[in-house]
Amino acid sequence: MIRSGGRDTVAEDNTSKYSSAGGATGRFVAQQLVMKPYIWSALHVHEHGRRNLDTLKPPFIAVANHSSHLDAPLVMGALPRRLSRNLAAGAAADYFFDKWYTAAATRLFFNAFPVDRKGLRNRKGVAGVLLSEGVPLLLFPEGTRSRTGAMKNFTPGHAALSISRNVPVLPIALVGAYAAMPYGTTRPPSGRPHVHVVFGRPLKAAPGEIAHQFAERIYRYVVELHDSTARAYGMPTQADFHRAVALRKAATEQAQLAQAEEAKNTEPPTDE
pLDDT in tens, 91-140: 888 888 888 888 999 999 999 998 876 554 444 589 999 999 999 999 99
The pTM of this model reads: 0.86
Least confident of 7-11, 107-111, 127-131, 236-240: 7-11
Share of the chain above pLDDT 90, in %: 72
Mean local confidence (pLDDT), 45-63: 98
> Beta 137-139 vs 61-64: how paired, if at all?
parallel
**Could you tell me which residues are beta bridge partners of residue 119?**
116
Give the tens place of pLDDT for each residue, 258-271: 777 777 777 666 66
Residue 188 has a pLDDT of 86
Domains in the chain, CATH or no CATH each: 15-265 (3.40.1130.10)
Question: What is residue 151's predicted lDDT score, i.e. its pLDDT?
Answer: 97
Angle between helix 211-232 and helix 157-165 axes, rounded to 10 deg: 120
- Asked if the model's pLDDT at residue 165 lies above 90, the reply is yes
- Which residues, including other chains, have CB under 8 Å from residue 84's CB and lie 6 or more apart? 31, 76, 77
How does residue 255 score in pLDDT terms, banded at 50, 70 and 90? Answer: confident
Average pLDDT over residues 197-212: 98
- In sequence order, which residues have a C-beta less than 8 Å from that of residue 196 and are 6 or more positions away? 45, 46, 47, 48, 173, 174, 175, 176, 229, 233, 235
Distance, CA of 186 to CA of 56 (rounded, Å): 33
Q: How far apart are CA 183 and CA 175, in angstroms?
A: 15
Average pLDDT for 61-74: 97
Banded pLDDT at 11 (limits 50, 70, 90): very low
